Structure 1
């Protein structure tokens, strides 16, 4: 796997009656560790929650978000996300184990471990080769509550983070 050329980006949407007062966010990492074994059709990767970036301008644009939160809002998001929501000190790693579904190379069966909980997902996959480089990409959704995480909310839920998260990945590997 080529860590710096790979990306996991998560779009976090606001909700609740006061949603217009909040911000949607994109959290991401390029600091992926792991391997891709194309011959066996499987991969394993992991990343640290405390290495997630918050609201990189280019990633916000790719996610269709047309505003940029202030630095104070981004810092507040990081503090709340790492301590109150993800409890990153107790659960610092996200682990992903995935393999092609039988008879196909356009869908993965992925096990994701987050917050000490493992869930399985069927993930659509786009795979292409460019010389010695293999690029795998896709998009899917997960719910925070599936991992025992309570989405962040204030004012009795009037301003909240939606439970559903949009995950986008682009993994680069060399043969």
Structure 2
């Protein structure tokens, strides 16, 4: 994107995470994962005093399993590595290394902005809407969003094991949080 604006990356103390669920007869054995995306970039283009466009790009192989709730045993280092490997296979990260979102409309809402655009995952593009909440924190703005993405809509078969008795829920929640100093 060109023009004046902001760029957000993980190094700016921003967070982009995925949250998964588990279903099936053996779901109590599985962990509900929190997965951080560690290499991504979001560019926000401004027009006057409001955002006019957003473009986000994330590298699939940068995912890192940072936590897991539930399961029979705690989610430790080796289990995190296995979960990461399974996620990379599910995403087919070698063939589809990037996820992208580009807006075609940014509309003001009561508590922030509605970002309408195209989300591309696994080589499939679909229209998607994200509601971005903006909070006045005094000297900075707090930004947050949470949206649900259905894996099967993008040609991804959710990970499963034990002949389907334990599988990742098709709907994955994507969360974003950041703070940005106010402009002068």
Poorly superposed stretches of 4+, deviation over 6 Å: none
CA RMSD of aligned residues (A): 2.3
Select 2:98's aligned residue among 93, 96, 107. Answer: 93
The offset of 1:81, in angstroms, is 1.1
Q: Measure how far apart 1:103 and its partner are.
A: 5.2
Q: Where in structure 1 are there 5+ consecutive unaligned residues?
A: none
**Higher relative CO (CA 8 A, sep ≥ 6), structure 1 or 2?**
1
Q: CA 1:66 to 1:6, structure 2 compared with 1: closer, same or farther past 3 Å? A: same
Given that 1:100 and 1:106 are in contact with CA atoms closer than 8 Å, whether structure 2 keeps it comes out as no
Q: Which secondary structure state, in structure 2, belongs to the residue aligned with residue 74 of structure 1?
A: helix
Asked if the contact 1:2–1:172 (Cα under 8 Å) also holds between the matched residues in 2, the reply is: no
Of 97-106 and 28-37, the range deviating more from structure 2: 97-106
State how far apart, in whole Å, the 2-side matches of 1:46 and 1:97 are: 9
**Corresponding residue for residue 144 of structure 2:** 137
**Structure 1 residue 98: deviation in Å?**
2.5
Q: Distance in 2 between matches of 1:123 and 1:2?
A: 16
TM-score normalized with structure 1 length: 0.83
> Which of the two has higher C-alpha Rg?
2
Q: Aligned residues, how many? A: 167
Q: Give, in whole Å, the separation in 2 of the partners of 1:10 and 1:43.
A: 19
Look up the match of 2:58.
Answer: 47
Q: For residue 92 of structure 2, give the secondary structure of its aligned residue in structure 1.
A: coil
For the 8 Å contact 1:19–1:158, the answer to whether it is kept is yes
**Partner deviation per Cα, 1:46-88 (whole Å, 9 max, x = no partner):** 11111111124xxx6xxxx4784122211111111112x0110
Does the residue aligned with 1:156 lie in a helix, a strand or coil? coil
The DSSP-based 3-state class of the residue aligned with 1:55 is strand
Structure number having the greater helix percentage: 1
Structure 2 residue runs without a partner (length 5+): 1-6
Q: How far is 1:139 from its partner?
A: 0.8
Answer yes or no: is the 8 Å Cα contact 1:98–1:111 preserved in 2: yes
Structure-2 separation of matches of 1:171 and 1:148 = 30
